[in-house]
A = this chain, B = another copy of it.
């Protein structure tokens, strides 16, 4: 721990410039350049990491809002570097469990180097034979989200009819493939013909539609699910949820992962067809991936197995360089990403 001899390097990062209302813009964030000493404070158990990949995730939008009442995740602070899930390499460690060169994933700053004091929330990377970027996606938080939200919350049975919205995204593409592995019939919706094509040709969805081209979502769902839907993996909310409720089967389940269509609205849209919950005995259940972090290793082994056996494939959308993080993050809310959106900060 030769802190005195530590190198001081340039450290670019992205800060929140001001709290956001409505859709975020690049002007709400700022690229800043500082310096950092690649060392951990003497006596501390922190680790200094070099960030390789940073994950752009929809929940980050909520952190850009200023909440009067504390939200489920802390608000970002204007002037401070954003935080995000990242894949990183340990540069220097004061923690007995980590040493320089270790590969980890967890919560880091949106910057080139981060001093991590909360090492509790770091995970070691056990399968470096896969692209390291996978630890922002299929082997990371979105992967665990798909796995827990589908298996533990929706509790699928072979032969059931599954619908996934935002189906080509970080989470959705995996839910569809897990549904196929389970022997379900699965249909996805996405926001472009290119994405719809991917769903059908690359991810093995039985059917898919471009929701932006449908006049009537209820009719689209009726066309794709003449027998109705057993499981809806809910990523978007709003009008889609209303249409899905009309098409659920008896004892259907809605695994509520997220409601991205609502994240930039000043007031959420109203969902009207809730009486279906009674008449069809539907279970609508929310979950947070953070509650499943304790089960991460089992998930990691299962998912690595699926990847090895070619049962799961994964598409990523790379932005190159920390300076492109704001645009990549904003792009999520316009559907610009095709697959998992991440930022390559450094390739090793």
Spell out A's residues near B (CB within 8 Å): 71-72, 237, 241, 256-259, 262, 267-288, 291
Contact = CB atoms under 8 A, between A and B. Distances in A.
Pick the 7 closest A-B CB pairs, nearest first.
Answer: A270-B270, A72-B279, A277-B286, A278-B286, A284-B284, A268-B272, A283-B285
Given A269-B270, A272-B267, A275-B259, A287 B291 contact: no
Contacts of A286: 276-283
A57 B271 CA distance: 26
A71 B268 CA distance: 29
State the main secondary structure of chain A at its contact with B: loop
A281 B72 CA distance: 11
Copies of the chain in the assembly: 2
11 contacts: A258-B278, A259-B278, A269-B270, A271-B274, A277-B285, A278-B288, A279-B286, A281-B287, A282-B285, A282-B286, A283-B283
User: Which one of A237, A241, A267 has the greatest number of beta carbons of chain B within 10 Å?
Assistant: A237
A287 B258 CA distance: 24
A65 to B, nearest CB: 12
A112 B275 CA distance: 33
Contacts of A267: 272
A117 B339 CA distance: 59
User: Which one of A71, A256, A258, A269 has the greatest number of beta carbons of chain B within 10 Å?
Assistant: A256
Contact of A237 (B241, B259, B274): B274
